[in-house]
Amino acid sequence: MASYLCIARHERPRGLCKRLWTAAARLWTVKQTKNLPGTLDPHARYALYIGCMTDQSAEFAGLTALVTGGASGIGLATAMLLRARGAKVAALDRVKPPDSTDLYPVIADVTDDAEVRAAIAEVGPALDDKLDVLVNNAGIGAAGTVEDNDDDEWRRVFDVNVLGIVRTTRAALPLLRRAAGDRGQAAVVNTCSIAATAGLPNRALYSASKGAVYALTLAMAADHVAERIRVNCVNPGTVDTPWVQRLLTAAADPEQERAALTARQPLGRLVTAAEVAAAIAYLASPLAGATTGTALAVDGGMAGLRIRPRE
């Protein structure tokens, strides 16, 4: 069974992990404290131990989260992962998430400021009137060169992908500030894209909108770091989501298009929604309390690798 280093409080490993802990204890000096506070005090001391990768982490226990675009794809995967790790999670979308999920559904369109504000007002009491984690994931795609989309389409994509983040964060800031004041920190994670930092063909409009998301993430991180609100983003590569499936269906040769999308990722396959969700959970976690203003690539190596063509 594989193992990994992690940071936790008031936890002890079991089974094989217990034996690994005994061995590791000879190498690490761990300062223990009595009656550690239950809040996420950024200055609290932690114990370093070896834990099993199959153990489900509970670092979000007692925390609250809101995920936009939470009814499908990356948003749903993220909401379910945060819930599995102990958070109380609301999923904001134009439709409800599947009934089988243990999520608080809230219906709103991120292009409508009044709807967003009403949704945040509605979800506040359900999330204990504070918000530890905001995941701005709602977004739409667009294909074509700079001349292929008219002004209305440019406005529509920016309205969702960029202003959607603005509206939701603006409305949620009072709840984020309350969480940061009570627990020592809060986190915002924006879903950006590899298209923000790499030139991709036939993605002019989409790339421009995600470039704006990247710049906005850095500006927000600078604006709110003093309030102990961390702001980061994930930069996924091509993810196997409903939008990509629609893109493939619309292609003249869906199989050829899928092969092309797969080939441009050095890993040799599409990224999964669960893999992006795991990256979002890392950035949102209180264990990443020193991470802000960061873009985390989840792209199968697209951003940094230049490999030889496979034979």
Enzyme catalytic residues: 206
Distance CA 212, CA 32 (A): 45
Q: Which two tokens stand for residue 115?
A: 């709807």
Question: Are the C-beta atoms of residues 107 and 158 closer than 8 Å to each other?
Answer: no
Beta pairing partners, 239: 271
Written as one letter, the residue type at 140 is: I
Could you tell me the CA-to-CA distances from 73 to 133, 255, 302 in Å, in that order? 19, 21, 21
DSSP per position, 22-82: HHHHTT------SS--SS--TT---EEEEEETTSPP-TTTT-EEEEETTTSHHHHHHHHHH
CB crowding 267-303: b at 16 or more within 10 Å, else e:
eeebbbbebbbebbbbbbbbbbeebbeebbbbbbebb
Question: Are the C-beta atoms of residues 283 and 294 closer than 8 Å to each other?
Answer: yes
Distance CA 188, CA 155 (A): 24
Distance CA 105, CA 93 (A): 8
Task: Look up residue 8 and give its DSSP letter.
Answer: E
